[in-house]
Amino acid sequence: MIDSQLRTSGVNEPFVLRRMGEVPREDFVPAASKGVAYVDRAIRLENGGWLPAPLVQGKMLEEASPAGDEKAIVVDAGSGYLAELFKPLVGDLTVLSPEEAVVKGTRGKGAQLLVIDGAVEEIPAGLARRLADGARIVTGMVANGVTRLAVGRKSEAGVALIPVYDIGMPQLHAFDTPKGWSF
């Protein structure tokens, strides 16, 4: 995984390679998927969630570049793997499910870093309110069926994201924009 997927795709930060080498992916997949835990694609989990491909989470970790003493929120897509990668890299970690992240709440309030383990159409206002002004955001974003890794910031005006890398990743439907129509 490290030599054939991460390094060849430009993920070379020592802290990323170290953490991904330390945390065995096979511990975060169903028993029937242990033999393919390192395959370069998302793996369906028993709870209906997904474990994204190693490259996705390597890029997310690299873009997040945790500072060691930060308060962070990881929205977990169901595997727990990304949260486990982050645990020793931040000062305080709050892990939320997508369902917990989209409802009004205060867990993780004042976070300086938000990482969402999947592609989203929008970041709900309730989740954005948990972030400190200037907080960094790393997430997947989906537009017209195309997923991209995106980075951004939270300010008084809201959340702004910029796509930085085209990459296939599972979509978190809890973050879908409400559908409707108007004249």
Q: Identify the structural domains of the chain with CATH numbers, from first to last.
A: 2-173 (3.40.50.150)
| Rounded distance between C-alpha atoms, residue 165 and residue 23, angstroms | 24
CA-based nearest residue to 28, from 86, 82, 97: 82
> What pLDDT score does 16 carry?
97
Question: Mean of the per-residue pLDDT values for the chain?
Answer: 95
Residue 30 identity: P
Q: Is the pLDDT assigned to residue 97 strictly greater than 90?
A: yes
Residue 182 has pLDDT above 80, yes or no: no
Percent of the chain topping pLDDT 90: 92
Q: What is the pLDDT of residue 175?
A: 95
| Residue 143 burial by Cβ neighbours in a 10 Å radius (0-12, 13-18, 19+) | exposed
Indicate if the pLDDT at residue 22 is higher than 90: yes
pLDDT band at 180 (very low <50, low <70, confident <90, very high): confident
The answer to whether residues 56 and 12 touch, using CB atoms and an 8 Å cutoff, is no
Query: What are the φ/ψ torsions at residue 121 (nearest 5 degrees)?
Result: -85, -35
pLDDT for 178 beyond 90: no
pLDDT band at 141 (very low <50, low <70, confident <90, very high): very high
Mean of the pLDDT values across residues 12-17? Answer: 96
Residue 181 has pLDDT above 80, yes or no: no
pLDDT at 39 over 80: yes
Dihedral over Cα of 119, 155, 151, 66: its sign: negative
